[in-house]
Amino acid sequence: MKITMLGTSHGVPEGDRRCACNLVEIEDWRYFVDMGTQAIEDIRRRHIPEESIKGVFITHMHGDHTNGLVSFVDLLSWYFKSCYPRIVLPEQMAIDVLGAWLLVNHSNLREDLEFQVTKEGMVFDDGVLKATAIKTQHIEPSYAYLLEAEGRRVLFTGDLKNPEIDFPVAALNERVDLVIAEAAHFSPLKYLPVIYQYEIDRMIINHYQPKMVPDVWKLMDRVTIPVELAMDQMEVTL
Ligand SMILES: [Zn+2]
């Protein structure tokens, strides 16, 4: 499993970081977790065959996690018609709005595009990747996703209210190979109790505000597991 963090910024793009978007590659298949930046441009730039994109998992509907979804669905509707990802997002209204946006574009939402409204529990299993949604309290509704493939378990926390109250610990009933965790809304030091208590092999802090970086260094000093700070285009192979 290879994960490329295409966008690692917080709610606002920085000069060198874009908003939340992660590309997950397993064998020859591709998946996205959040699409807050223009993923379609990355797909083209990387010469990714559009047929290889099988799933998109949206944690919540804030624009820094979804703005790229609009152009992605637009192009899938009228041009990339051989691309059949299942788009899993947390609100029916979002599907209706995407349809309305395409209408205003004098276009139509492609009828055979597959959307699914996230519910807690397993939301996706294509025989390659299994995705399980766990509710968080960032907004109502918002979710974390646990991705399982090739014997690996990776948890994307999405945005949280505060790790002390809504860290998605349901994913930690078994060891996880990697947690990709946000630090836009609180100090990353708030992850300390979770790291101490559960079996986490590695943590990457993404979706962080610049003012949180000193606390990421402190976190690195206080735990024995590797903790890294994400930058755009960072690749992780598990
Ligand atoms: Zn966010």
226: number of Cβ within 10 Å: 11
- Identify the band that residue 43 occupies on the pLDDT scale cut at 50, 70 and 90: very high
Number of domains in the chain: 1
- Identify the band that residue 179 occupies on the pLDDT scale cut at 50, 70 and 90: very high
Quote the ligand 1 centre to 230 CA distance (angstroms): 15
pLDDT tens string 79-99: 999 999 999 999 999 999 999
Quote the ligand 1 centre to 215 CA distance (angstroms): 19
> What is the side-by-side order of every strand in the sheet holding 121-125?
121-125, 130-136, 142-149, 152-156, 178-183, 203-208, 227-229
120: number of Cβ within 10 Å: 12
Q: CA-CA distances (angstroms) from residue 53 to 36, 86, 202?
A: 17, 9, 27
Quote the ligand 1 centre to 214 CA distance (angstroms): 20
Quote the ligand 1 centre to 207 CA distance (angstroms): 7
Quote the ligand 1 centre to 120 CA distance (angstroms): 20
Quote the ligand 1 centre to 65 CA distance (angstroms): 6
The CATH number covering residue 110 comes to 3.60.15.10
Task: Print the domain residue range for 108.
Answer: 2-237
| pTM (whole model) above 0.85 | yes
pLDDT tens string 46-68: 999 999 999 999 999 999 999 99
According to the model, what pLDDT value does residue 61 have? 98
